[in-house]
Chain A
Amino acid sequence: MTQKKLIIALAGNANVGKSVIFNYLTGLHQHIGNWPGKTVERAEGTLSFKGYTIDILDLPGIYSLSTYSLEELVSRKYIAVEKPDLVINVVDASVLERNLFFTLQLMELETPMIVALNQVDIAKRKGIEIDTEKLEQLLEVPVIPTVAIKGIGMSQLLERAIEIIEKGQTTRREVRYGEEVEERIAKITETLQNVQFYYPRRYVAIKLLEGDEEIAREIAKLAPPALNTAKELAGEIENLHGHACSTVITSERYEAAGSVARQAQKLVPPLKPTAQERLHNLTTHRIAGYLIMVSSLLLIFYAIFTFGNYTSDLLSNLLNRLEPLSTNMFGTGIVGSLVWGGVAEGLIAGVTVALPYIIPFYIVLYFLEDSGYLSRIAFLMDNAMHKIGLHGKAFIPMMLGYGCNVPACLGCRIMETKRERTLAAFVTTLVPCAARTVIILGLVGRFIGIQWALALYVFDLFVIFALGRLAFRVLPGEPSALIMEMADYRMPDLKTVLKETWFRLAEFIKIAFPLIIVGSLVLKAADVFGLLNPVANLLSPVTVVWLGLPVITGITLIFGVLRKELSLILLAALLAPVGLQALTPVQMVVFTLVAMFYIPCVATISALVRELGGKKALYITLFEIAFAIILGGVALRVLTLVT
Chain B
Amino acid sequence: MSSKSIEDYLKAIYILSRNGESISTTEIAKHFNIAPASVTEMLKKLAEKGYVRYSPYRGAQLTRKGFRVAEKVTRKHRLLERFLHDVLRIREDKVHSEACKMEHALSDEAEESLCRFLKHPDRCPDDNKIIPACDLPFSTCEECIDLHKKDLEESGKREHIPISICQLKEGAHGRISFIRGGHNVLQRLCDMGLTPGTEVTVVKSAPFHGPTEILVRGSRLALGRGVTETIFVEAEKA
A and B, one complex? yes
Min CB–CB distance A196 → chain B (angstroms) = 28
B142 beta carbon closer than 8 Å to chain A: yes
Q: How far is the CA of A244 from the CA of B138 in the complex (A)?
A: 9
In the complex, residue of chain B having the shortest beta-carbon distance to the beta carbon of A62: B191
Decide yes or no: A247 and B217 within 8 Å by CB, A380-B206, A483-B227 being known contacts. no
CA distance A301 to B217 in the complex (A): 38
Instruction: Flag if A383 contacts B225 (CB, 8 Å).
Output: yes
Pick the contact of A251: B143, B190, B225 (CB < 8 A).
B190
Q: State which of B53-61, B110-118, B208-216 sits at the interface with chain A.
A: B208-216
Q: Does B183 contact A (CB under 8 A)?
A: yes
Bound CA span A382–B221, Å: 13
Q: How far is the CB of B166 from chain A (nearest CB, A)?
A: 12
Closest beta carbon of chain A to B232's beta carbon, Å: 14
Per-residue 0/1 for A237-254: is the Cβ within 8 Å of any B Cβ (1 yes, 0 no)?
Answer: 011001110110011001
Q: Could you tell me how many residues of chain B have their Cβ less than 8 Å away from some Cβ of chain A?
A: 43
> In whole angstroms, how far apart are the Cα atoms of A341 and B220 in the complex?
55
B222 within 8 A of A: yes
Query: Do A486 and B222 have beta carbons less than 8 Å apart?
Result: yes
Binary A-proximity of B176-202 (CB < 8 A = 1, otherwise 0) = 000000011111111111011110000
State whether B191 touches A66 (Cβ < 8 A). yes
Q: Chain B residues near A64: list those with CB within 8 A.
A: 187, 191
Query: Min CB distance, B220 to chain A, in Å?
Result: 5
> Contact: B221 with A486, CB < 8 Å?
yes
Q: How far is the CB of A43 from chain B (nearest CB, A)?
A: 23
Provide the residues of chain B in CB contact with A280, threshold 8 Å: 220
Contacts A242-B155, A254-B193, A485-B219 known; A247 to B224 CB distance under 8 Å? Answer: no
Distance (Å) between the CB of B120 and the closest chain A CB? 14
Cα separation A238 to B147 with both chains bound (whole Å): 9
Of the listed stretches A94-102, A433-441, A585-593, chain B binds A94-102
Residue of A whose beta carbon sits closest to that of B140? A244
A242, A243, A382: the one contacting B210 at CB < 8 Å is A382
Residue of B nearest to A280 (CB): B220
* Contact assessment for A251 and B213 in the assembled complex, using a CB-CB cutoff below 8 Å: no
Which of these, B196, B208, B225, B227, contacts A247 with CB under 8 Å? B196
> How long is the Cα–Cα vector from A236 to B218 in the complex, in angstroms?
33
Is A187 part of the binding interface, using a Cβ–Cβ cutoff of 8 Å? no
Q: Check A251 against B197 for contact (C-beta < 8 Å).
A: yes
* Residues in chain A near residue B190, CB distance under 8 A: 246-247, 250-251, 254
Pick the contact of B211: A238, A379, A488 (CB < 8 A).
A379
A286–B212 CA distance with the chains assembled, in angstroms: 12
Measured in the bound complex, the distance between the Cα atoms of B213 and A246 in whole Å is 26
Bound: A532/B147 CA distance, A: 72
Q: Are B219's CB and A482's CB within 8 A?
A: no
- Cα of A111 to Cα of B23 in the assembled complex, Å: 61
Cα–Cα, bound, A63→B206 (Å): 25
Contact between B222 and A392, CB atoms less than 8 A apart: yes
In the assembled complex, the CB of B237 is this many whole angstroms from the nearest CB of chain A, namely: 21
Q: Contact at B218–A98, with CB atoms within 8 Å?
A: yes
Instruction: Give A364 to B207 CA distance when docked, in angstroms.
Output: 27
Q: Which residues of A contact B183 (CB under 8 A)?
A: 211, 246
Which residues of A have CB within 8 Å of B191? 63-64, 66, 68, 101, 250
B224→A391 contact, CB < 8 A = yes
Q: Is A485 a contact of B187 with CB atoms below 8 Å?
A: no
B192 touches A63 (CB 8 A): yes
For residue B230, give the distance in angstroms from its CB to the closest CB of chain A: 9
A153 in the interface (beta carbon within 8 A): no
Contact with B along A468-505 (1 / 0, CB 8 A): 00000000000111111111100000000000000000
Q: Are A485 and B226 CB-contacts (below 8 A) given A247-B186, A382-B211?
A: no
Contacts A101-B193, A382-B206 given: A485-B221 contact, CB under 8 Å?
yes
- Is the Cβ of B219 less than 8 Å from the Cβ of A95? yes
A238 to B143, CA, bound (A): 8
By beta carbon, the residue of chain A nearest B226 is: A481
Question: Does B20 sit within 8 A of A, measured CB to CB?
Answer: no
Residues of A within 8 A of B222 (CB): 375, 378-379, 382, 392, 482-486
B146 at the interface (CB under 8 A from A): yes
CB distance A481 to B220 under 8 Å? no
Q: List the 10 closest pairs (A to B, CB-CB), nearest first.
A: A482-B224, A481-B224, A64-B191, A481-B226, A383-B210, A251-B195, A250-B190, A481-B227, A382-B211, A95-B219
- Between A and B, 20 residue pairs with Cβ closer than 8 Å are A66-B191, A95-B218, A97-B193, A98-B217, A211-B183, A238-B143, A242-B138, A242-B143, A243-B139, A243-B140, A247-B190, A258-B217, A284-B204, A382-B224, A383-B208, A383-B209, A392-B224, A480-B185, A481-B226, A483-B224
Name A's B-contacting residues (CB within 8 A): 63-64, 66, 68, 94-98, 101, 211, 235, 238-239, 242-244, 246-247, 250-251, 254, 258, 280, 284, 286, 375, 378-380, 382-383, 386, 391-392, 479-488
* Extra pairs beyond A246-B187, A254-B195 (14, CB < 8 Å): A66-B191, A95-B219, A101-B193, A235-B146, A242-B139, A244-B142, A244-B146, A247-B139, A247-B140, A379-B213, A383-B211, A483-B223, A483-B227, A486-B222
